[in-house]
Amino acid sequence: MSNLISMAPLFLLCVLFPCFSSAAHDYGSALSKSLLFFEAQRSGFLPRNQRVNWRSHSGLQDGKASGVDLVGGYYDAGDNVKFGLPMAFTVTMMSWSILEYRVQLAASGELGHAMDAVKWGTDYFIKAHTEPNVLYGEVGDGNTDHYCWQRPEDMTTDRRAYRIDPSNPGSDLAGETAAAMAAASLVFRHSNPAYANTLLNHAYQLFDFADKYRGKYDSSITVAQKYYRSVSGYNDELLWAAAWLYQASNNQYYLKYLADNGDSMGGTGWSMTEFSWDVKYAGVQTLVAKGKAGAYAPVFRRYQDKAEAFLCACLRKGYKNVQVTPGGLIFRQRWNNMQFVTTASFVAAVYSDYLTSSRSSMKCPAGYVQPSELLSFAKSQVDYILGDNPRATSYMVGYGNNFPRRVHHRGSSIVSYKRNSKFIACREGYATWFSKKTSDPNTLVGALVGGPDAYDNFADQRDNYEQTEPATYNNAPLLGLLARLHGGHSGYNQLLPVALPPPTKRNPITKKTFPSFFFLLLLLLPCRNCSESYKFMEGQRQSLLQIFFCYYKQVVKNSEESSAFDF
């Protein structure tokens, strides 16, 4: 009888709110798997320490027709095109993950793999940036590539290289690549200072190129419009690049750039409900909010206000809140929705750590928010991804027992080249492999697929590209999130760290109270094992956190303060 009484509060919660499986997740395992996905996406000559052994060399003639070496880099998703804008954003977010959670990554044994993943991208960007004002931004054509279903090792599609230059500008592409190079320079600052300085010099040149010759990259590389159209324009990338260059160089020019252009370029004006490969404002606002503004404090406070408006919207405590599924997942759009989930959750985790370290809270229109609530939100989204959802489905391939088996991905859906090197022609792949209803012959371990619809429904079908196609930019912020949840909080990284002297070349161009109901339930729960009670409550809390994203005009392609919910 006493056991029945002790379970009453749990029963009441499940009646009032949806109860999903809420087993403790192995974030360390998920972290390791997420890094394997980047190895599966590699283009070029694969190294001897390649761990995804069903892949082989590919794209070995990339750039040759244009007289440049563009071998390497990453395929963006389930196809074999190298799109520069999402690739650069992927590298920026991987670098940010490492910079925030280097200690946790090292403790998990994955720091080296994470740095390798960044370097695979930056090595390619160095090749692609052939002159100060020239950057190759795409290899391959999405139209011809999508006509075929081939392993990357068999590609017969057009591998033309597309570039931006002063006559054909692309400030968004050059700006994002500058941000990636600057952020990555910090990753390698101590372990490989010469390489870090090389990256920083490229970042300087790319930023100057982006700022001086302004224009949208998809007006120059028009074949990208159908796949990665730059709807937000380039102002957000210019601010984003300036923020990362300021962090990497400690050069006051970039601090002043952020202050002088915050209003005119939208950094202090736009209250965002998304953070993505196209729209960088929430990322800029978060970086600036974490920094030391000095004489520019009034402007930087406006940046911070917008960063917090974004997070309030994610928590559904703002003026214009985001949509969520009945199961509690952020929902922006039906095509690859998970990209928005991981970016928002990463920013929430980072800002939670910032507030904790600064002994602060955040004020939303619906009330004050403690750091633990932001972290609980981020955790709820990750747990949904890993299986705490109405379908009990893990949307990370290879994690758990119930994960997508028919991923929209050319390489994983066709027998490995190493098992059967027989050439598979362009259309043959559709007839022989794409149409199969069986599981993929190669498990794309660690890939985060597009995810469920607005009602938590999901169809594990290879032709369902909206839900079953993965992308590198889905996984990049997840790297930091998983490291944080696995390793805990080891200190807050300020925007303006003590930096080593940058390269000498630099002449920039001018121009907590829980509601009483829940507190009562906590008191009623048996305390023979309080930690388990708290775990349960956290699982239910996840289903209560209703979150994120509002209007987005684009179709996107394929210890200080502690509570029961601190980690």
What is the DSSP secondary-structure string of 160-190? -EEEEBTTB--HHHHHHHHHHHHHHHHHTTT
The pLDDT value given to residue 295:
86
The answer to whether the beta carbons of residues 245 and 494 sit under 8 Å apart is no
CA 405/CA 180 separation, integer angstroms: 32
Closest CA to 71 of 52, 58, 87, 55: 58
Would you state the structure tokens that stand for residue 551, as one six-digit string?
């209007």
Domains of the chain: 23-544 (1.50.10.10)
CA 295/CA 287 separation, integer angstroms: 17
The pLDDT value given to residue 20:
55
Query: Cα Rg for the chain, rounded, in angstroms?
Result: 23
The pLDDT value given to residue 266:
96
CA 379/CA 383 separation, integer angstroms: 6
End-to-end CA, the chain: 34
Q: Please name the residue that has the structure tokens 């990453």.
A: 74
The answer to whether the beta carbons of residues 466 and 460 sit under 8 Å apart is no
Residue 529 neighbours by CB distance under 10 Å: 10
Alpha helices by DSSP H, listed for 279-368, are 281-289, 297-314, 338-357
The pLDDT value given to residue 551:
31
Say how many residues make up the chain. 567
Q: Which DSSP string corresponds to 6-47? A: HHHHHHHHHHHS-----PPP-HHHHHHHHHHHHHHTB-BSPP
Q: Which residues pair with 165 in a beta bridge?
A: 168
pLDDT tens per residue across span 446-462: 999 999 999 999 999 99
46 CA to centre of own chain: 24
Would you state the structure tokens that stand for residue 344, as one six-digit string?
């928002």
Pairing mode of beta strands 82-83, 367-369: unpaired
Cα–Cα distances in angstroms (integers) from residue 299 to residues 261, 290, 309, 312, 490, in the given order: 10, 13, 16, 20, 30
The pLDDT value given to residue 22:
53
CA 315/CA 548 separation, integer angstroms: 7
The pLDDT value given to residue 23:
63
The answer to whether the beta carbons of residues 473 and 90 sit under 8 Å apart is yes
Which residues are designated catalytic? Answer: 408, 460, 469
Would you state the structure tokens that stand for residue 313, as one six-digit string?
């919207």
User: Which residues of the chain carry a pLDDT beneath 50?
Assistant: 1-19, 492-567
The pLDDT value given to residue 491:
52
The pLDDT value given to residue 311:
98
